[in-house]
Chains A and B, each alone.
Chain A
Amino acid sequence: MDYETIIGLEVHAQLLTGSKMFCSCNANYTEAEPNSHVCPVCLGMPGVLPVINQKAVEYAMLSALALNCTVSEYTKFDRKNYNYPDLMKGYQISQYDFPIGKHGWLTIDINGNRKQVNITRVHLEEDVAKLHHEHHYSRVDVNRAGLPLMEIVSEPEISSPEEARDYLMKLHSILRYLGVSTCNMEDGSFRCDANISIRPIGCKELMAKVEVKNMNSFKAVYQALEYESRRQRKAVKEGEPIFQETRGWLDEKGETVSQRSKECADDYRYFPEPDLPPLIIDKTWIAKIKEKLPELPEARKNRFVAQYGLLLHDASVLTGSLKMADYFEECVKLAGKERAKAATTWILGDLSRLLNASGTGIGDTKVRPEHIADIIKLTGKNTISGPAAKTIIEETFHTGKSVDDIINDKDLRQVNDISEIQDLIKQAINDNPKAISDYRAGKEQALMFITGQVVKATSGRANPVAVKEILIEELGGK
């Protein structure tokens, strides 16, 4: 029997506010001393009064709009009750039946196959404290507790690990464009939980779903879901039951393991948060937030194709990251629109190779758009050769030196001047009588060989096209 995979994703993104969700403690906790960004509100002391951070609400509204959601006219906060050492109050302030946004969607694209994945809801809640597990106890750092956290829940409409990865990358990219979150997966600013189940194709009933946690990269999400879909198929095949449970992904081992048994929604005993009055979001407010929507990745990709004549794939890669798209447009601004394709080649080729090999982000590299623009202009004018350009970008990558300085330091200026190379050509003709007679006998390759010899004699500075032209002339034409 053939089975299909059904995946739903829950993403939690920390919002990039200055203060926490319900108190004015500093939200930038990554470098802070443990328990130094804590007050009675986020510590969950009795009798305190939380107050809603307006910016967090507006960031969630902006995200909901970007994800094609309906922004709720009426929304409120609720208490989700459970006991765990990372939860100071014994409940988490979250949203239950009236989330800020609902009924949205985003488009994924697997090898040109576009598919709309519906988004159930976008809601706001507070992050929990960070636990450091030791052998017999845990250490608790409350700095993270109370940070604004936005949860984005997809419908169970994702049908493969590839689709799940693309959904996440698209969502990640949109949130980065909006500037509402750092979306750093390693430090947990952008976290993903997945619900995954399988069922016989054609069957409408859902089977027991497994929640997978602890996936800290796009790759981990892909691998964990790949593993889990195989594990579940194997279990069914061998007649073993699949339990509804939470499983954690172990990156080093490449497998998921059973964690705690999950409480069900009833057990959370949600009820309206009495300390926080409800929010009424009117049309004027929504319109004001809508005005803040920037050009989103999908629109920018299409514009790159239309405006610069890029290939869809290249445009897609460039616009996948806000920084890379900005970088590209800066290069084009400096080098000219007609050189957009050359800029794409350099950014996606040599520059990306250097960035990936060293694990550097495009925002941190010493190679600035000015460098790329100079390199494109100079190769276009034949001032430097292709190989010389590669040398330059590598040198800039390490030192940040200007293109001009590197050309001068390394003497990389391409020699286009005939008189400078004529002597070398004459010498090459004298030194290679065999090649000359081969050429005269009709062997084209012999000419390439001699051209190569001349270029080599100039340490790569001679323009091969110019050399070849002069050679043909010297040898009395073809």
Chain B
Amino acid sequence: MKLSHEQVKHIARLARMGLSEAETEKFRSQVSAILDSFEVLNQVDTTDVPAATHSIPLQNIFREDEAHASYPQEEILANAPEREGSFFKVQSILE
């Protein structure tokens, strides 16, 4: 399955990635190859196999509604690329 140039651009836009024309072409062939690999699965006859959403046969796994202490602010913010006071700081996205 060959992805079109536009499809790759569209996927990149959804991921908020700016790709150059050359990159778009590069990923077009790479992602197309990945999709082709998955195409192999379509060869299996699944007519009588019910649709599965999960790989482990579990159901109704809950926790009680109890609040526990969260992490210290400093630990939460430790990986912030940028911060302002106790806030994460990010580029504003207003299209």
Contacts and interface: CB of A to CB of B under 8 A. Distances in A.
Interface of A: 17-19, 24-28, 33-40, 43, 51-57, 76, 81-85, 132-134, 136-142, 259-261, 263, 267, 272, 274, 276-280
Given A24-B67, A24-B68, A27-B67, A51 B89 contact: no
Contact of B62 (A17, A52, A132, A274): A52
Contact of B76 (A35, A54, A55, A263): A35
B87 A34 contact: yes
24 contacts: A18-B66, A18-B67, A19-B67, A24-B63, A24-B66, A24-B67, A25-B68, A28-B67, A33-B86, A35-B73, A38-B71, A38-B76, A53-B63, A53-B65, A54-B62, A54-B63, A55-B65, A57-B62, A83-B16, A139-B84, A139-B89, A139-B90, A140-B89, A277-B59
Contacts of A55: 64-65
A435 B55 CA distance: 98
Contacts of A259: 95
Contacts of B73: 33-36, 38
B53 A83 contact: no
A98 B87 CA distance: 36
A263 B14 contact: yes
A83 B93 CA distance: 10
Nearest to B90: A85
A462 B86 CA distance: 66
B15 to A, nearest CB: 6
Interface residues on B, range: 35 or more
Contacts of A51: 61-63
A132 B94 CA distance: 12
Given A25-B70, A85-B91, A140-B87, 20 more contacts: A18-B65, A24-B66, A34-B87, A35-B76, A35-B77, A35-B88, A39-B76, A40-B71, A51-B62, A51-B63, A53-B65, A55-B65, A83-B14, A84-B93, A85-B93, A136-B92, A137-B91, A138-B89, A142-B88, A278-B53
A55 B62 CA distance: 9
B13 to A, nearest CB: 9
B90 A83 contact: no
Interface in B38-95: 53-56, 58-68, 70-71, 73, 76-77, 84-95
Nearest to A45: B79
Given A26-B70, A40-B71, A52 B61 contact: yes
A260 B94 CA distance: 7
